[in-house]
Chains A and B, each alone.
Chain A
Amino acid sequence: MALGAQASPEALGARRPFIVAAREALMGEEPDGAARYFLYSAAFWLLLPGLAGLALAVLLYAPAAQELIPLGLRGPLGFGRLRPMHVNVLLFGWLSMVYVGSMLFITTRLTGSPLYSERLARVTLVVWNLAMLAATISLPLGITQGREYSEMGWGIDLLLVVGYATLAVNIWGTVRRRRHPKLYVSLWNFMAASLIGALVYAIGNKVWDPSGAYVGMTDAIMSYFYVHNIFNVWFTTGGLGLALYLLPKLAGRPLFSHRLAIWGFTSVWTGQHHLLYGPGPEWLEILSVAFSILTAVPNTAFLINVVKTMEGSWGRLRQDIALRFLVAGCLFYAFTCLQGISQSIRTFSAFIHFTNWVIGHSHLAFVADYSFFGFALSYALLPRLLGREIASQRLASWHFWLVFVGILVFMVSLWVGGWMQAVSWQSGARFIESVQLLKPYFLLRLVAGGVVGVGVLAFVVNVALTARAPRLTMAPATPSAGVA
């Protein structure tokens, strides 16, 4: 097969010139190529926005650090410019790209069919990377639409809509050509996540209008419809689909209950719980609280499935770092849901909202849950894509413990600090007191964030070492049926 001939210089450990490698990445048709490059890209997009996160933690703890920045760079490196870069590139760069790469890989395994179009997947790869490059540059330059999670400018929105749409075509197209008639639950999730994800992104970002914003209260309602549903439809539905594939694989046991997993396939429209007691309609808030409480059903179903599937396989956690990340992520996920429901109760929301508690909650969801899924997927799928082991198990183990302990301390410091802030506001003390009392918590968060950063660096180095190691065997030319 021609593909084998292409791969052979690599098999001997020879390096191709960069330009040849780049052309292959963008235009090649080697099966699973897009999936592999998506996983590499994801790891790459952890670096700058992660560093931005550290800078934000420094600025919150020690605002005087601003004076260390050269005058000409104080704009681009200011808190309000780095924050959207940190959030958007981590969500749509790192996390979304590890999702897309894994979905492309897993969809072919679960359908027993090659990808609908590998070429189209390379288009997805190119537009997604271009979007992130543009976001990394334009957000610090102050080009922003001024709405949370949808700050990225109009052109970037269009690129990402194309990215989501081409992904949806590939997933739905592959499913239509499937050789296995039954749809495993993960495929349900991928199909919904890509299709509805594209629509929610397009509507939430108002892509037909370059300003990207609606007017007045509608803008606030739409903005949080978008914030919650891109989270719910893309990051959660997609992420749970990925977890439900990987868990039985790594545990070496079949999924406990497919029917129960389908229960998790419910969509909730709870955006308004971000605006409790706000100026919006009261009935909408109550509806959103009801939906938030209802999420207990799918979440319990998911947790039962995780625990029952792991039964008898807990010992594997000692050896398998991918499984360790995945199970830790699933348990954190259950906790996220519990915390999320509590925050959607109006009285508690009135107390805790606007404090750093909520920042702790968002890091719980995006770092401890979904990024842990992302690390698990990278460690589990890269060896299968490359036909060799992860370069360093020791580095991977360090990665786990640094990130695990770091993010726990990070979140707890924000929860306690946020609670103290809320108490201060309730007491009627001057606002500035609530700012000053945060100092020790912000210091702890900064140190813990640094520990997470070292762990993440270990991960990126490990991925790079694995990618550059000489290939021992050919990449699988066709997805083997029955892997699922």
Chain B
Amino acid sequence: MPPHVPEWGPSRLAALSLLMLALGLVATVWLPGLEGEQPSALAANYTSAELRGRAIFQREGCWYCHTQQVRAPEVGRGTIDRPGDIGPESAPGDYARQQPVFWGTERQGPDLSHVASRAAGGNRAWQLVHLRSPSQVRPGSTMPSYAHLPDDELEALVDYLLTLK
């Protein structure tokens, strides 16, 4: 083998690796954490029914296809049915009471940050029909049906969705 880098033993390597990890944690987790986050007006104070719905949202993996973050360049332009109805830009405080958060990475379906503020999305009856049979109220939808969930779970899920104002 060609010349090896000299005199670097395991202990120095361990020190270097741990230092890099520590720097990474300080710079990208601890420092941003210092900025703190006061709950915003949009941060819901969940009832137990809403929390149950949120757990179902998590369990069924709704968040794989629906994000919950509106980015600055989308404000006023992002369109679900009408231009700009994606809603206002998300702020850190919106998430202050969430564990875990559902920011998401894919939009096979529309962003849900402010779904309850949209005409159809804010309607409990529409939400229930939509969960059971999405393409009935949204022709062309590729969302699976959740009619196999018990009624009380669907109600709880809608309770949660209606907190997304």
Q: Is A274 part of the contact surface with B, judged by Cβ < 8 Å? A: yes
User: Would you list which residues of chain A between 242 and 267 have a CB under 8 Å from chain B?
Assistant: 254-259, 262, 267
Bin the interface of chain B by size.
35 or more
Q: Is A337 part of the contact surface with B, judged by Cβ < 8 Å? A: no
Residues of chain A lying within 8 A (CB to CB) of residue B135 = 63
The answer for the CA separation of A281 and B32 in the assembled complex, in Å, is 7
Task: Encode B95-118 as 1/0 by CB contact (under 8 A) with A.
Answer: 111111111111111100000000
Judging by beta carbons under 8 Å apart, are B61 and A430 in contact?
A: no
Determine which of A188, A192, A271, A279 lies in contact with B95 in the assembled complex, contact meaning CB atoms within 8 Å.
A279
Judging by beta carbons under 8 Å apart, are B13 and A220 in contact?
A: no
Shortest distance in angstroms between A67's beta carbon and chain B's nearest beta carbon? 8
Judging by beta carbons under 8 Å apart, are A350 and B107 in contact?
A: no
The answer for the CA separation of A452 and B21 in the assembled complex, in Å, is 36
Determine which of A279, A355, A484 lies in contact with B90 in the assembled complex, contact meaning CB atoms within 8 Å.
A279
Judging by beta carbons under 8 Å apart, are B27 and A269 in contact?
A: yes
Residues of chain B lying within 8 A (CB to CB) of residue A281 = 32, 35
User: Would you list which residues of chain A between 65 and 87 have a CB under 8 Å from chain B?
Assistant: 66, 71, 74-75, 78-81, 83-84
Judging by beta carbons under 8 Å apart, are A280 and B100 in contact?
A: no
User: Which candidate, B3-11, B44-52, B122-130, B154-162, is the interface stretch facing chain A?
Assistant: B3-11
The answer for the CA separation of A392 and B16 in the assembled complex, in Å, is 44
The answer for the CA separation of A271 and B5 in the assembled complex, in Å, is 30
User: Which candidate, A24-32, A39-47, A141-149, A395-403, is the interface stretch facing chain B?
Assistant: A141-149
Task: Encode B73-91 as 1/0 by CB contact (under 8 A) with A.
Answer: 1000111110100000111
A146-B63, A257-B2 known; A217 vs B24 contact (CB < 8 Å): no
A59-B144, A79-B61, A175-B10 known; A269 vs B28 contact (CB < 8 Å): yes
User: Would you list which residues of chain B between 29 and 53 have a CB under 8 Å from chain A?
Assistant: 29, 31-33, 35, 37
Q: Is B163 part of the contact surface with A, judged by Cβ < 8 Å? A: no
Judging by beta carbons under 8 Å apart, are B105 and A267 in contact?
A: no
Residues of A in contact (CB 8 Å), total 87
Q: Is A408 part of the contact surface with B, judged by Cβ < 8 Å? A: no
Residues of chain A lying within 8 A (CB to CB) of residue B33 = 218, 221
A192-B17, A354-B67 known; A71 vs B148 contact (CB < 8 Å): yes
Determine which of A257, A284, A359, A432 lies in contact with B138 in the assembled complex, contact meaning CB atoms within 8 Å.
A432
User: Which candidate, A121-129, A159-167, A207-215, A322-330, is the interface stretch facing chain B?
Assistant: A207-215
The answer for the CA separation of A258 and B25 in the assembled complex, in Å, is 29
Dominant secondary structure of chain B at its interface with chain A: loop
Q: Is B145 part of the contact surface with A, judged by Cβ < 8 Å? A: yes
Determine which of A78, A278, A279, A284 lies in contact with B60 in the assembled complex, contact meaning CB atoms within 8 Å.
A78
Residues of chain B lying within 8 A (CB to CB) of residue A59 = 144
Residues of chain B lying within 8 A (CB to CB) of residue A213 = 99-100
Judging by beta carbons under 8 Å apart, are A66 and B99 in contact?
A: no
Determine which of A144, A215, A255, A284 lies in contact with B98 in the assembled complex, contact meaning CB atoms within 8 Å.
A215
Minimal Cβ-Cβ distance residue in A for B145: A66
The answer for the CA separation of A172 and B104 in the assembled complex, in Å, is 37
Task: Encode A211-246 as 1/0 by CB contact (under 8 A) with B.
Answer: 111111111111101000100000000000000000
User: Which candidate, A98-106, A193-201, A470-478, is the interface stretch facing chain B?
Assistant: A193-201
User: Which candidate, A8-16, A176-184, A292-300, A453-461, is the interface stretch facing chain B?
Assistant: A176-184
Q: Is A115 part of the contact surface with B, judged by Cβ < 8 Å? A: no
Q: Is A444 part of the contact surface with B, judged by Cβ < 8 Å? A: no
Q: Is A203 part of the contact surface with B, judged by Cβ < 8 Å? A: yes
Judging by beta carbons under 8 Å apart, are B99 and A60 in contact?
A: no
Residues of chain B lying within 8 A (CB to CB) of residue A145 = 100
Q: Is A390 part of the contact surface with B, judged by Cβ < 8 Å? A: no
Judging by beta carbons under 8 Å apart, are A83 and B64 in contact?
A: yes
Q: Is A436 part of the contact surface with B, judged by Cβ < 8 Å? A: yes
Minimal Cβ-Cβ distance residue in B for A439: B142
Judging by beta carbons under 8 Å apart, are A255 and B1 in contact?
A: yes
A144-B61, A182-B4, A222-B29 known; A435 vs B17 contact (CB < 8 Å): no
Q: Is A272 part of the contact surface with B, judged by Cβ < 8 Å? A: yes
Determine which of A79, A258, A269, A429 lies in contact with B5 in the assembled complex, contact meaning CB atoms within 8 Å.
A258
The answer for the CA separation of A277 and B75 in the assembled complex, in Å, is 11
Q: Would you give 22 A-B contacts (Cβ < 8 Å), ordered by A?
A: A75-B60, A83-B64, A146-B58, A146-B100, A147-B100, A183-B4, A191-B14, A195-B14, A196-B18, A196-B21, A216-B92, A216-B96, A216-B98, A216-B99, A219-B101, A225-B25, A278-B69, A354-B105, A355-B107, A430-B79, A432-B139, A435-B108
